[in-house]
Amino acid sequence: MSAEEIANKLWNLCNVLRDDGVTYHQYLNELTYILFLKLSEVKDFEEHIPEEYRWRDFVDEHDNNEAFVRYRKFLAEVSNETSSESIKEIYTNASTSLRKPVNFNTLVQAIDKIDWYEQDDRDVMGDIYESLLEKNAGEKKSGAGQYFTPRPLINIMVDLMVPKLGERWNDPAAGTFGFMISADKYLRDKTDNYYKLSDKERKFQEEEAFSGVELVSDAHRLALMNARLHGMESKIYLGDTLTDFGKSLKNFDGVLANPPFGTKKGGEKPSRDDLTFLSSNKQLNFLQHIYRSLKKNGEARAAVVLPDNVLFEDGDGQRIRKDLMDKCNLHTILRLPTGIFYAAGVKTNVLFFTRGKTETNNTQGVWFYDMRTNTPNYGKRTPFTETAFTDFVKAYTGGVTVETVEQDYDGSIDHAKRLAIKDERWQYLSRDTIAKKNDSLDLGLIADDSISNSEDLGEPVDIAKEAMAELKSITAQLQAMITELQ
């Protein structure tokens, strides 16, 4: 059975628990608690679990009530009874959403029957868990989409950043730790799963190379579990990057992030005294934090997902963009298509930049790639995959394909090779041109084919009739969808 088939089987069990009042998000937390117990058996670290709470005892217990009482006691006490920091973190403030003992037994028996290894003996527990996280993100009622960046976008960002052994990478808004897991996989694939590294080098990669911060306790728990299932003992802090705690996050070789959208709760500004421009806009504050957290060696780099407003907001927005272009070489902005995030209609971009050795004049110009205009509407009918980035990757690397990036591309930016790329979506604007536009970066979008030239518009009355007909059609579709949902 493939990882995807197993994930579907586990996810469908949630339907069995509907009469227990369990939501999708609660179910994923419950699965995390129970899966970790199974993991302790599979990965041979049961000595860190108190003896009366070992996995096999729950599987073999014939009295559902007794098993469920013991499980609830385990959740309440395990953090105080184990010496393992991983276990303490995952089970901190844990409680069950289940009410019926029979449903707990259903989950235990289903999980125990699963073969966690594929035919090539590859451990697929991490793949299964990530698939569950993605399903949870896609379930609108769970509200988890805000913690999940589409996997194809994560992988392309990692490929183009080209992580290297011995580097320290961070995600200051970690969600479920997807960026760092992808970066770790990138290096494992290139080094035979770290097999040829010394013990010291392997320990660094597994424990120190990748780190993150997550503000929300449930997402933090999922991130910890996700990391452990992928063989990572990374430090993932439960905290707020925009408080004084964030000042300790610095001197990184790389940052990959998708900071949360919106303003800080209540509109207040962050409690950091080291950010030059304090704003109620969280993305602007995260952007400042990120480029300030990079080493000033001319090689430390970042790829960050940010909404359109960061590109054009006046006041602090303008000042922060100028500061970014002074301190860093902001070499590329990718205008992403709409519809790829679970928050519908959000317009986003990826900013790629390298921290300079000096504090001024590091950006001489910015390359823009438009993946938004006249592109497919991604969804169930048109899945969003890594192939969507093929032309962008070729432009970014100056003619190298996605496949070559994974093998040979070293991440260097060759301006001459980029100039040789002929693609209407790919254009370069000098720093002087950007400055004349008040440092707005809301640029690089090509003409929209859906907007006709004025001489082709026809009579105003005809336009109004067409618009009304289209509006009626859309209204009818919406009414049909509402009826179906009811």
Q: What is the CATH number of the domain that holds 193?
A: 3.40.50.150
Report the pLDDT value the prediction gives residue 260, as an integer from 0 to 100: 86
pLDDT at residue 265, rounded to an integer: 55
Question: Contact, 210 vs 232, CB < 8 A?
Answer: yes
pLDDT, residue 268, reads 56
Alpha helices in 328-372 (DSSP H): none
- Predicted local distance difference test score (pLDDT) of residue 174: 94
Q: How far apart are the first and last CA of the chain?
A: 35
Q: What share of the chain is helix, strand, coil (3-state, %, to 5)?
A: 50, 10, 40
Phi, psi of 354 (to 5 degrees): -125, 130
How far lies 310's CA from each of 179, 265, 340, in Å? 21, 18, 19
Residues 428, 465, single domain; the answer is no
Whether 432 and 458 map to the same domain: the answer is no
Residue 449 included in any domain: no
Paired tokens of 43 = 């990965």
Paired residues of 281 in beta bridges = 263
Is residue 42 located within the same domain as residue 154? no
- The domain boundary, picked from 132, 165, 186, lies at 132
DSSP structure string for 63-89: -HHHHHHHHHHHHHHHHHH---HHHHH
Q: Within this chain, do residues 15 and 60 fall inside the same structural domain, yes or no?
A: yes
* Token pair belonging to 273: 């005294």
Residue 398 lies in a domain: yes
* CATH number for the domain harbouring residue 32: 1.20.1260.30
| Residue 143 placed within a domain | no
Say how far apart CA 167 and CA 211 lie, in whole Å: 11
Of 100, 132, 164, which residue is a domain's last? Answer: 132
pLDDT of 270 reads: 66
Up-side HSE of residue 49: CA atoms within 13 Å toward CB? 26
| Residue of 232, 227, 252 whose CA lies nearest to 241 | 252
What is the domain extent for residue 343? 148-436
**Could you tell me if 173 and 256 lie in one domain?**
yes
Please count the helices (runs of H) and the strands (runs of E) in the chain. Answer: 19, 9
Place of tokens 């400055």: 435
Alpha-carbon gap, residue 431 to 364, rounded angstroms:
5
Residue 175 and residue 127 share a domain: no
pLDDT string in tens for the chain (486-residue length): 677 888 888 888 777 677 677 777 888 888 889 988 988 888 778 888 888 899 999 999 999 999 999 999 999 998 888 777 878 888 988 899 888 899 899 999 988 887 766 545 556 778 888 888 888 777 655 455 555 788 999 999 999 999 999 999 999 999 989 999 999 999 999 999 999 999 999 999 999 999 999 998 888 998 998 898 888 999 999 999 999 999 999 999 999 999 987 665 555 566 788 888 888 888 999 999 999 999 999 999 999 999 999 999 999 999 999 999 999 999 999 999 987 876 667 899 999 999 999 999 999 999 999 999 998 888 777 888 999 999 999 999 999 887 788 778 888 889 999 999 999 999 999 999 999 999 999 999 998 876 544 333 333 444 444 455 555 555 555 555 454 444
Q: Which of 132, 163, 178 represents a domain boundary (last residue)?
A: 132
For the chain, the domain total comes to 3
Residues 429 and 458 in one domain: no
Query: Is 138 inside any structural domain?
Result: no
Assigned domain for 126 exists = yes
Compute, in degrees rounded to 10, the torsion defined by CA atoms 361, 365, 370, 373: 100
Of 284, 295, 282, 296, which is closest to residue 320 (Cα–Cα)? 284
Residues 24 and 152 occupy one common structural domain = no
d(CA 355, CA 287): 13
Task: Indicate if 249 and 389 belong to the same structural domain.
Answer: yes
The angle that helices 125-138 and 217-229 make with each other, rounded to 10 degrees, is: 150
Size of the chain in residues: 486
Query: Does residue 442 form part of some domain?
Result: no
Interhelix angle 3-16/24-42, rounded to 10 degrees, is 130
Torsion of CA 103, 107, 108, 110, to 10 degrees: 130
d(CA 432, CA 439): 9
Are residue 301 and residue 408 in the same domain, yes or no? yes
Looking at the fold, whether 253 and 366 belong to one and the same domain comes out as yes
Whether 142 is covered by a domain: the verdict is no
Query: Which segments within 215-253 are labelled E, that is strand?
Result: 235-238
Residue 446 within a domain: no
Contact (CB, 8 A) for 411 and 335: no
Instruction: Please state, in angstroms and rounded to a whole number, the distance separating the CA atoms of residues 303 and 349.
Output: 10
Question: Strands 426-430 and 365-370, how do they pair?
Answer: antiparallel
Same domain, 249 and 386: yes
Instruction: Supply 478's token pair.
Output: 């919406």
